Amino acid sequence: MDSTTTSIFVFGIYLIFVGAGFLLIPNILLPLFRFPKTDEPWIRVMAILVLIIAYFYIVAAHHNVTPIYWATVYEE
């Protein structure tokens, strides 16, 4: 694995932790980001979307999909 693939893979793992945290214990994590505690479902919907993106990143890193790497970098 080269450094770019490793970076994409590690970011996917990070997103898994963030998504799972907001899915399972959102009212503990929300104050850390200065958001009020909530019982609304939007936070769990956002967590599911983050988990889907995490899966996308991990699969892209596993299969070395280099166009995805270029899509994640801002270039003028």
Q: What tens digit of pLDDT does each residue of 12-70 get?
A: 999 999 999 999 999 999 999 899 999 899 999 999 999 999 999 999 999 999 998 89
Could you give the CA distance from residue 47 to residue 24 in angstroms, rounded to a whole number? 9
User: What per-residue confidence (pLDDT) applies to 47?
Assistant: 97
Give residue 73's pLDDT band: very low, low, confident or very high (50, 70, 90). Answer: confident
pTM for the structure as a whole: 0.87
Find the angle CA(63)-CA(66)-CA(69) to the nearest 5 degrees: 110
Chain-centroid distance of CA 70 in Å reads 17
User: What per-residue confidence (pLDDT) applies to 6?
Assistant: 95
